[in-house]
Homo-oligomer: A and B are copies of this chain.
Amino acid sequence: MAGIVRVGIIGAGRIGQVHAENLAYRIPEAEVVAIADIDERAAAACAARFGVPAATDNPHAILDNPAIDAVLICSPTETHAMLMEAAAAANKHIFCEKPIALNLAAIDHALAAVEEAGVKLQIGFNRRFDPNFRHVREMVAAGKIGEPHILRITSRDPAPPPVSYIKASGGIFLDMTIHDFDMARYLIGSEVAEVFAAGGVRVDPAIGEAGDIDTALVTLRFENGAIGAIDNCRKAVYGYDQRVEVFGADGSIAVANNTPHNAVHSDAEGVHGAKPLYFFMQRYTESFIEEMRAFIAAIVNDTPTPVTGQDGRVPVVMGLAAWKSYKENRPVPLSEIG
List chain A positions with a Cβ less than 8 A from chain B. Answer: 24-26, 131-132, 134-136, 139, 144-145, 147, 149-150, 152, 154, 156, 196, 198-200, 202-203, 215-217, 219, 221, 225, 227-229, 231, 233, 235-238, 241, 247, 249-258, 260-275, 329-331
- Judge whether B273 and A231 touch: CB under 8 Å: no
- Judge whether A270 and B268 touch: CB under 8 Å: no
The interface residues of chain B lying within 8 Å CB-to-CB of A235 are 249
Nearest CB of chain B from residue A196's CB, rounded to whole Å = 6
The interface residues of chain B lying within 8 Å CB-to-CB of A268 are 237-238, 250-251, 275
Nearest CB of chain B from residue A313's CB, rounded to whole Å = 24
21 contacts between A and B (CB under 8 A): A25-B25, A132-B263, A135-B260, A135-B263, A135-B274, A149-B215, A149-B233, A152-B154, A196-B219, A198-B331, A199-B227, A200-B227, A202-B249, A219-B229, A236-B247, A238-B251, A241-B252, A253-B264, A253-B266, A258-B262, A272-B273
The interface residues of chain B lying within 8 Å CB-to-CB of A275 are 266, 268-271
Measured CA separation A202–B266 after assembly (Å): 19
Q: With A219-B217, A267-B250, A275-B271 known to touch, is A152 a contact of B238 (CB < 8 Å)?
A: no
Q: How many copies does the complex hold?
A: 4
Q: In the complex, what residue of chain B is closest to A150 when comparing beta carbons?
A: B231
Sorted nearest first, the 9 A-B pairs with minimum C-beta distance are A251-B267, A25-B25, A238-B266, A229-B229, A271-B273, A237-B268, A135-B261, A131-B261, A135-B263
Specify which of A154, A196, A233, A271 lies most central, judged by the most chain B CB atoms within 10 Å of its CB. A271
The interface residues of chain B lying within 8 Å CB-to-CB of A215 are 149-150, 227
Nearest CB of chain B from residue A135's CB, rounded to whole Å = 4
The interface residues of chain B lying within 8 Å CB-to-CB of A236 are 247, 251-252, 266
Measured CA separation A219–B229 after assembly (Å): 9
Interchain CB contact (< 8 A) of A251 among B134, B265, B329, B331: B265
- Judge whether B233 and A231 touch: CB under 8 Å: no
Additional A-B contacts beyond A200-B225, A219-B219 (20; CB < 8 A): A135-B260, A135-B261, A152-B231, A156-B247, A196-B219, A198-B219, A202-B249, A203-B249, A237-B268, A241-B252, A251-B267, A251-B268, A253-B264, A253-B266, A257-B262, A266-B275, A269-B275, A271-B275, A329-B331, A330-B330
- Judge whether A272 and B274 touch: CB under 8 Å: no
Q: In the complex, what residue of chain B is closest to A262 when comparing beta carbons?
A: B256
- Judge whether B274 and A264 touch: CB under 8 Å: no
Measured CA separation A97–B320 after assembly (Å): 45
Nearest CB of chain B from residue A101's CB, rounded to whole Å = 29
The interface residues of chain B lying within 8 Å CB-to-CB of A270 are 238, 272-275
- Judge whether A196 and B196 touch: CB under 8 Å: yes
The interface residues of chain B lying within 8 Å CB-to-CB of A273 are 270-273
The interface residues of chain B lying within 8 Å CB-to-CB of A217 are 150, 219, 227-229
